[in-house]
């Protein structure tokens, strides 16, 4: 048995069959003020290993600042690890815009912005997890605020990894754009890493030649993907009348790790007037096995209100379909959809998720309640299933959803199981919710009620030599804990006697160990 498989089987053993259950939606952030823009990743070596990351306000050094928080699950979302916070890199820094990617061997990468404004400083950082998202190594800087000094290229970075069977396997790409306070004209950017994100190429532009962005777009986000042929691809907006008399979205692709690009047009149209409060983020997704199949997902207001549409390609992005409307409520009914995300499963079936206001009594954005929906496609986006709800209730409007930090949701799709995360305000604050659904039957899977984050424990030193300290919160005093070695053998079981407990580890064999208290699991290394 491989070490990765052994590790995952141990985790599944430790966290099974405990806790109460609730249906449909689970609050996995439990923040007191604000949690936004979650990202969900699934381990290709084990579909039960999910990792969620999001922006959450945290009190640090006497200041409330946004930090990137992560939780890992090893049983498909039934239970989750204690939340980790990624580090800040300067006094007064705040974090934003997280994304993640597993490589095909189970190595997980995370990227995020850590910065402050006035004086502008910080950058985009990348860290790695070798244990399925339980722990992260020291982040390394991918972009600096002054890589393009006048443009501050650190907004909405997306991280993707090449999982092809080509020499490009393992290559990391990050796309980004100028900071939101920088006015047009702007361009988009990318960097490349071939050493797991420890070092990066020089900053460069994705647009070029006769496919420039132009002078009128302030936030020209490039949505990236990688294909099984080893291509690095993006879709980005443009308006240059000498290139196309209409505003357009261009598709770029590179088979040489970004050294050069070719371009095609996804679509061009007169833009329809839309509500600027809506979240108009878009996504490019590549089929996991067929390099010819891609889909570009975006909100579109050609019918008078924002719909979710997909443009699919069956020839590697050389040509693209007309827009296919995915939401199936009445056309031009005044009910707006936004915040789209999608994912392919291993078989190449597609799931698309979004925020939906069809059940609200109010049209438009303001004061309109909302749900979250999904649809599936078995033909690469040519047709879609009947829409189904993901959210367990209609969520009342809250003005916080008009603010930055709530622009995206996220999902992963494995077999017939759709796992989804999003931010909503049902609790009176913006929190991150998780749903696990059998997509073909719209059946919600019961999941365990998560432990409150205050019931958690820490281990130190880690790695340990002779004596391990277990520090537990008040709610875990008197609880039984167990220690397992890397083969799954239980080597110690006793109860915590106080908030601080010590274990003699001098006789432990060098290696990896796991401690379980209730549903919480931590890992330590014996030197």
How far is CA 447 from each of CA 21, 44, 79, rounded to the nearest angstrom? 5, 22, 8
Q: Do residues 38 and 423 make contact, with C-beta atoms less than 8 angstroms apart? A: yes
For the beta carbon of residue 119, count every other beta carbon within 10 angstroms: 6
How far is CA 515 from each of CA 14, 82, 382, 469, 523, rounded to the nearest angstrom? 9, 13, 49, 12, 6
CA distance 502 to 480: 14
The string of pLDDT tens digits covering residues 326-365 is 999 999 999 999 999 999 999 999 999 999 999 999 999 9
- What mean pLDDT is reported for the chain? 90
Query: What single-letter DSSP state applies at residue 387?
Result: P
Of 316 and 481, which is predicted with more confidence? 316
> Does residue 107 register a pLDDT over 80?
yes
In 3D, which of 101, 112, 28 has the Cα closest to residue 420?
A: 28
CA distance 190 to 232: 11
Would you state the pLDDT for residue 487?
67
Query: Quick one: pLDDT band at residue 499, thresholds 50, 70, 90?
Result: confident
Query: Quick one: pLDDT band at residue 527, thresholds 50, 70, 90?
Result: confident
The string of pLDDT tens digits covering residues 20-32 is 333 479 999 988 7
Q: Do residues 227 and 294 make contact, with C-beta atoms less than 8 angstroms apart? A: yes
**Mean pLDDT, residues 191-215 taken together:** 98
> Does residue 503 register a pLDDT over 60?
yes
Residue ranges of domains in the chain, CATH in brackets:
3-448 (2.120.10.10), 457-526 (2.60.40.10)
Give me 271's structure tokens: 């833009």
| Torsional sign, CA 499, 504, 508, 511 | positive
The string of pLDDT tens digits covering residues 471-484 is 887 778 899 998 98
Q: Do residues 376 and 351 make contact, with C-beta atoms less than 8 angstroms apart? A: yes
Would you state the pLDDT for residue 455?
46
| Sheet strand arrangement including 94-102 | 94-102, 108-116, 121-129, 140-144
The string of pLDDT tens digits covering residues 112-143 is 999 999 999 999 999 999 999 999 999 999 99
Query: Quick one: pLDDT band at residue 453, thresholds 50, 70, 90?
Result: very low
Q: Where are the beta strands (DSSP E) in 33-188?
A: 35-43, 46-60, 63-73, 84-85, 94-102, 108-116, 121-129, 140-144, 155-161, 172-177
**Mean pLDDT, residues 217-241 taken together:** 97
Q: Report percent pLDDT > 90 for the chain.
A: 75
> Does residue 452 register a pLDDT over 70?
no
């Amino acid at each position: 048995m491989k070490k990765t498989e052994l590790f995952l089987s141990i985790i599944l053993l430790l966290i099974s069959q405990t806790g109460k259950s609730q249906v449909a939606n689970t609050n996995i952030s439990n923040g007191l003020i604000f949690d936004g823009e979650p990202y969900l990743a699934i381990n290709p070596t084990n579909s039960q290993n999910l990792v969620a990351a999001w922006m959450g306000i945290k009190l640090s050094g006497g200041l409330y600042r946004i930090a990137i928080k992560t939780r890992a699950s090893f049983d498909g979302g039934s239970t989750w690890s204690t939340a980790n916070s990624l580090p800040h890199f300067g006094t007064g820094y705040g974090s934003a815009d997280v994304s993640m990617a597993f490589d095909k061997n189970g190595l997980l990468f995370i990227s995020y912005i850590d910065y402050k404004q006035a004086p502008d400083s910080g950058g985009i950082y990348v860290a790695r997890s070798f244990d399925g998202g339980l722990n992260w190594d020291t982040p390394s800087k991918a972009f600096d605020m002054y890589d393009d000094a006048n443009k501050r290229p650190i907004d909405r970075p997306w991280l993707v990894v090449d999982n092809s069977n080509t020499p490009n396997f393992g290559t990391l790409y990050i796309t980004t754009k100028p900071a939101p306070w920088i006015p047009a004209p702007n361009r988009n950017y990318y960097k490349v890493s071939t050493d797991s994100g420890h070092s990066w190429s020089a900053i460069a532009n994705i647009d070029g030649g006769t496919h420039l962005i132009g002078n009128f777009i302030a936030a020209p986000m490039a949505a990236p993907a990688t294909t099984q042929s080893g291509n690095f691809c993006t879709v980005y907006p443009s308006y240059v009348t000498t290139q196309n008399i209409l505003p357009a979205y261009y598709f770029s692709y590179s088979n040489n790790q970004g050294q050069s690009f070719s371009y095609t047009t996804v679509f061009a149209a007169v833009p329809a007037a839309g509500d600027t409060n809506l979240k108009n983020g878009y996504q490019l997704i590549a089929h996991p096995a067929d390099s010819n199949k891609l889909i570009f997902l975006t909100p579109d207001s050609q019918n008078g209100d924002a719909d979710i549409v997909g443009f699919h390609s069956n020839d590697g992005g050389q040509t693209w379909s007309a827009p296919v409307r995915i939401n199936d409520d009445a056309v031009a009914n005044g009910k707006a959809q936004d915040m789209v995300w999608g994912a392919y499963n291993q078989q190449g079936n597609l799931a698309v998720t979004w925020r939906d206001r069809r059940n609200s009594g109010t049209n438009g954005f303001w004061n309109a309640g909302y749900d979250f929906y999904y649809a599936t496609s078995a033909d690469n986006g040519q047709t879609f299933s009947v829409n189904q709800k993901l959210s367990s209730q209609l969520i009342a409007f809250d003005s916080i959803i008009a603010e930055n930090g709530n622009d995206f949701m996220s999902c992963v799709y494995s077999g017939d199981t759709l796992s989804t995360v999003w931010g909503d305000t049902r609790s009176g604050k913006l929190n991150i919710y998780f749903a696990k659904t059998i997509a073909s039957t719209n059946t919600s899977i019961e999941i365990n009620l998560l432990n409150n984050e205050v019931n958690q424990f820490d281990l130190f030193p880690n790695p340990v030599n002779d004596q391990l300290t277990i520090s537990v919160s008040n709610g875990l005093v008197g609880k039984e804990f167990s220690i397992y070695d890397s083969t799954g053998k239980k080597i110690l079981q006793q109860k915590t006697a106080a908030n601080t407990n010590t274990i003699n580890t001098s006789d432990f064999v060098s290696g990896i160990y796991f401690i379980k208290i209730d549903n919480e699991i931590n890992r330590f290394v014996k030197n």
